[in-house]
Chains A and B, each alone.
Chain A
Amino acid sequence: MDPKLIVNNIIKDFYSTRYALIGFAALLLIRFLFLSNPLATQNLHWAIFYPGWVFPLVFSMFSHGAMLLLGLVIVSKWIHADGLNDDESFWSTRPAREKHLFTAKLSAVAIAFIIVPAFLDLILGILYGAGWNLFWVLPNVIWIHGLHAVVILFLASISSNLGRMILYAVPMIALAAAYSVMTAGITLGTGLVLSVNWEFTLKLILFLGFASAYVVQSLRRDRKTAIKIAALSIFAAPLVAFPRLSDYRTQALENVTRIENLEIEQGDYIGSLNQRSETYFRVNVKRAFKLLDQDPNRILVPIKTESELTTSSGVRQTFDQRWVRNTPIHPLLYETLKKFGYDTNGLEEKAYDFNAELVSLHPKAELAPYNNEASLSLKNYFSEYRVTSLEEVPLKRFTPYRNDSDLVSIVSMIRYYSVKQNEDERILPLRVFITETEFAPGFNTGSYLTNPYETGKRLRVYFLYDPVHKLLAGGSVRPHSVIEDSQEPFPPFMPNLKRAYRPVNFNLVHRRDQAIDRGRLKLLILDLENAGSRVSESQWTFSDLSEQIARAIDNSS
């Protein structure tokens, strides 16, 4: 393959769509310059609370659509200019062969729609100084951009013009939906309610579709049996991959006790939350670290952990969880608070007890808060947990752009701080919080937002969710908490939104993996005694909150 010919073709394609590419680049650049969170799906509703966000949010929605549209047009032009599906195309009798074209088109798409945008987003992430771990973010960022590119590339390769290309998208979407519905139906039939892994399903179908398209193209010129078999295999692969498609996890495969057979403590442990289920088990936590001389302005964030689960049948499984998801933070908080000089008497035991708080969204829901490994039936396993790597991060650098474990840290800190407050009957300087986090799409992480102590006493929490994302999340955001009719009109200036943003008690546990996958979770913690219900008084950013906490800790020490 002559690289010169490939470059020649790429230059030709870029030149042919130069105006569209300039437009695409301009949108990318504007987004880069003005928007703070390229990885988070924006939601216009939030502009209500943050008027200053109206432009970025509206622009974000606009730019997302415009970039998608431009991408569609550009890739379509590139592919259809040298139509694979067209026996009158110009290239077909020229020395450029399929492999040249394939490489050239793929490279062009990768450059324009994956590498450059991903690079810009990465720079953005770094610029925001959120302490993004490059290697953690990179695959996701690339995937986010690659997802659109691949699907467009696939559709373009099997069509001869833009109209047909759009038309062909319809059965593909139907296919993706059918797979998901099918897998959901089957899992329901087995008595297991498993969250359909929509994202994985879609990825797999896209990949298989792309691969199939290439094979089909090969078939046009070469009808060798091997290729026919390859094509059939690719189409049949989803059936083989079914267990994965349906998020059919270890528990289901091993037929381990389902949740309904577990002893679940239901009750009023946290007040009026009546759909909450909890179970307890013990995890031995090995303290892999000895913390010395920790900067009081810094917090420790686990970045790598290991869990070892032993089944009652003697099978041992070790999981190297590179990224902490909703794994217990308590030990770290304990260490942190200790280093802050906080009185940790009595906390150690608590800190090293892993209290698995799980919420049942459905009577048959699994216990698993994670996607794969943690779907093990917890009661049947002896678990060992240890943190193997810690990252020390300045408190001020906590931003919504870090992974969810930061959020957990912060919330948990609030929790423990409150414990202290209750014990000492002192007034906590933190009265009114708005905690806010943004979840990067595609990060299947969990977050615990619990506060069993304040509930029903002084704090009322408004859990805001977006009905759109609720739908995207398969409805799983829906009440894992009792929704109370609040006497306070909320939001006071838009009563109609009450339907969308309903006040709930704080004692909810938000299952990240089944809830808002691509949204923004927002908690309003209002001190009803002192702050009333005026939302405007409670608008703090997450960094503000961090600073508050840091200040509070400083004061208390």
Chain B
Amino acid sequence: MEEDQMTTLVDTETTAPAIETRSLSKRYKNCDAVVDVNLNVEPGSIYALLGPNGAGKTTTLKMLMGIIKPTSGTGFVLGDHSESLASETYQRTGYVSENQKMPKWMTLDQLLRFLKPYYPSWDDALAQKLVEDYDLPLDRKLKEMSRGMQMKVKFLAALAYHPDVLVLDEPFSGLDPVTREECNDALLAWSEPGGRAALISSHDIEDVERIADSVGIIENGRLELSEDVDSLKQRVRRVSIALSESIDLPRSLPSSWISAKSNQRFIEFFDTEFDDERTEELIRAVLPGVERVDNQTMTLREIYIALVKQSRKETGGKYGSETDS
């Protein structure tokens, strides 16, 4: 099975994105749930789709999984059209959602036995290992398990057949830190062979900060940003400036400077287009009496909050980068 698996991975690496959307849109009666979303999740990467509640994350994922039909645009999973995903595609795709209903009358053992025939690549040994790693009782009914245990069961049910793609909808929501860590570990272990891709939606970036390679921020149904995490962290910096004397913030600041605050002789802002030399030149051109310029890398959480706040202030404005990753 491992040979097959490797073949699949190699194939995946050399072909299309694992997940792709083209102008994916979903309109309900009076509102646009998702608008023209274009994103690519390359094989070998974990993509975190971030956004506040109601931003359109779940709708996007459901469209990708063929659960709901897009109003326009298309989605692809492993090259297969999302509106008509073949059984074979589902056999290579794992889906975990906090909302997904489980057959709770089953014991874990019954669930695993029920699922096995659906997946040619089902790995009993892996399933057993995950059961032990997660410390899950095989003979307990799902309805008698805690929320955290049930989420672990969902992970287990999605990982035990070595999927090439994982689509996770708010998988960590409401979990305690330990369980989150376990689920993160499981994800990392799953992605180890390389070539596997995951799309994870979350409204809390801390959930995915450790594992995400790329990040997209969706708000009001629009994908406002889609970028590699490293590039984003390099591009968005916290900049602190010490001035020789106290001044009022100029009315007009460069558009890439967001959330600017002044405190007597000190000014701080987030630069969404940070570049060592260019930023300092720009600062000295805009502000008089600059004594010292410092920059700090930001956590994804800080970047996310800053960008979302800024976006809400400037209605409809993008976050300073192309949406296509």
Contact = CB atoms under 8 A, between A and B. Distances in A.
B22 to A, nearest CB: 19
Given A87-B67, A87-B68, A93 B95 contact: yes
Interface stretch (B86-94, B177-185, B218-226): B86-94
B30 interface: no
Contacts of B102: 90
Nearest to B120: A95
Given A8-B117, A87-B62, A95 B90 contact: yes
B318 interface: no
A86 interface: yes
Contacts of A92: 65-67
A457 interface: no
A93 B114 contact: no
Contacts of B97: 88
Nearest to B61: A93
A93 B90 contact: yes
A16 B67 contact: no
**Main SS of chain A's interface residues?**
helix
A370 to B, nearest CB: 51
Given A5-B118, A8-B114, A93 B93 contact: yes
Contacts of B105: 16
B101 A94 contact: no
B114 to A, nearest CB: 5
B103 to A, nearest CB: 6
B230 to A, nearest CB: 31
A74 to B, nearest CB: 13
Contact of A12 (B67, B100, B114): B114
Interface in B48-106: 62, 65-69, 83, 87-88, 90-91, 93, 95, 97, 99-103, 105-106
Interface residues of A, number: 22
Interface string B227-240: 00000000000000
Interface in A71-104: 81, 83, 86-90, 92-97
A192 to B, nearest CB: 48
A19 to B, nearest CB: 11
B119 interface: yes
Contact of A221 (B69, B100, B110): B69
Given A87-B68, A88-B97, A221-B69, A95 B119 contact: yes
Contacts of A499: none
Interface residues of B, number: 28
Contacts of B65: 92-93
Contacts of A290: none
A220 B91 CA distance: 23
A4 interface: yes
A362 interface: no
A90 B117 contact: no
Contacts of A426: none
B103 A81 contact: yes
Interface string B112-124: 0011011100000
A93 B100 contact: yes
Contacts of B106: 16
A90 B104 CA distance: 10
A88 B61 CA distance: 12
B90 A94 contact: yes
Contacts of A12: 103, 114
Contact of A88 (B69, B99, B119): B99
B201 to A, nearest CB: 14
A95 B87 contact: yes
A87 B63 CA distance: 11
B192 to A, nearest CB: 24
B100 A88 contact: yes
Contacts of B88: 95
A89 B101 contact: yes
B78 to A, nearest CB: 13
Given A8-B114, A88-B100, A223 B69 contact: yes
Contacts of A4: 117
A81 B106 CA distance: 11
A301 B100 CA distance: 63
Contacts of A223: 69
Contacts of B103: 12, 16, 81, 90
A223 B84 CA distance: 13
A522 to B, nearest CB: 48
Contacts of A86: 101
Contacts of B66: 92-93, 221
A493 to B, nearest CB: 53
B308 to A, nearest CB: 27
A279 to B, nearest CB: 64
Contacts of A90: 100-103
Given A8-B118, A83-B101, 20 more contacts: A4-B117, A5-B118, A8-B117, A16-B106, A81-B103, A87-B67, A88-B97, A88-B99, A93-B65, A93-B90, A93-B93, A93-B95, A94-B115, A94-B118, A95-B87, A95-B91, A96-B87, A97-B87, A221-B66, A223-B69
27 contacts: A4-B117, A5-B117, A8-B117, A8-B118, A16-B103, A83-B101, A86-B101, A87-B62, A87-B68, A88-B99, A88-B100, A89-B101, A90-B100, A90-B101, A90-B102, A92-B65, A92-B66, A92-B67, A93-B65, A93-B67, A93-B167, A94-B90, A95-B87, A95-B90, A95-B91, A221-B66, A221-B69
Top 10 A-B pairs ranked by shortest CB distance? A93-B95, A95-B87, A95-B90, A95-B118, A8-B117, A87-B67, A88-B99, A95-B91, A93-B65, A92-B67
